[in-house]
Structure 1
């Protein structure tokens, strides 16, 4: 994909030098004895591709379970609803995978370019704090991903949702004041979930009444408890002056709010969404149970397991609930 003449090649040569220098300092060879340097970045195309795969995995590791897998599942469910043949269904699912990888890549490059100081404390394995690449390298990748994402939106006829998400990602991460984060982030996440689910549906067919019901109910239900995400990042947010609900109110009100939402989630989805499908009562109750088990587990964990590592696991469980809800579309649409 990338050659020695690509924009990333020169950038990563600098990135690699910065990485080697930081590694040398960390290794500390002792007085008068230089520390060994890692091997230079590979010059071959295969080596460049492997390097980009490594960078991409670290960029997207935290959010892929929420931003890629669930909407791809939703596209597949909508395709089955529309009776697509196996080949057409596979084509739509592949298009969804590409679209939502770019969806996440654009957001995470913008987010990590702006949040290196926070990541150094909360997520030191990410590309910038780990020394793998520099902030400028991340911004270069963002500048390449944006037109690719736009092209994907044009080819899949989801360009409106793509442009909305690009605006949200750049506005939240690169333009907004950290002190306004407590107001800006919830709006951004609602718009992002809306854009994601609407695009996932419209990859297959235009949104109809049933489609809008799924998009709006799931968007609301999954964003109301979203503030729990900031509980796990309190130390880093405090470090960069970001205002979040856990820092303003304390972690207990946010935990209680999250637990109440998790307790009510199965009933909310049953009344507003699941019971409006075409499936029988047994299938609907089965979907209720599939949501209830992880939701109630996450709610209990948020109150009983309050150390930072446990909060990260609880949040991952919450993102898994999003995937479970959209997986229910296979049975209910």
Structure 2
């Protein structure tokens, strides 16, 4: 489905990114395997993971090149795109997958922990997409896939930085889709449920936490790859500005914010009127204060 295409997958030295890179190569794409080789907290540097995935792709008869530039710097992100152009002469699709975690309850979260996660996820997605945008505009084709999370779409404990970044990515993707549709450029999101190195940092201090992690371990990264392949293919030409979730063998189309209910008062509202009339009328439609695990409460199927 990707024969003749050139794609970039950021953060593809392991986990979900690795499986997406391998699947895209198997489907005929030439792949830029980007990974700076850090821990889940963004520390350390090693150029090994990206090259190992490239070696896997080449051993299977595919074509790929390793790139170790960081997505969290605009100039470095531009080099990732340039790597595709220099290596393969074109670029058809990107997957913004690179990420780190620095989980902390909000009242304990440091500015550095906030900045680091926002920089890699939200800024990183913008930097890579922005670097590719002019190229896609000129050739009047291109597809982007951005990885979001139910931590942002629904909510989770101890992840204010990650949740804010991941919901921001949804809005970024929607804006890209709206702005670039006239150039035949598409932008969609995937919210993955999969055991990965990042999820491996989730605490397992209580039986409940351990049970949650045990469920996640059933959902392997290779379940995400087929949807990413499809979204970058020509067969997805009419799929734009959508948010999908993949949970083991299930694919979900996720809702996007729309009005639920309204109240009107011809002479306008006072604070007292809101308290006595507006809120009681709206309250039955309030969105519950749920976490991701409470919404997706059933075992993976």
Largest Rg, 1 or 2: 1
Which structure features the higher share of strand residues?
A: 2
TM-score calculated relative to the size of structure 1 = 0.27
Q: Normalization by structure 2: what TM-score? A: 0.30
Higher helix share: 1
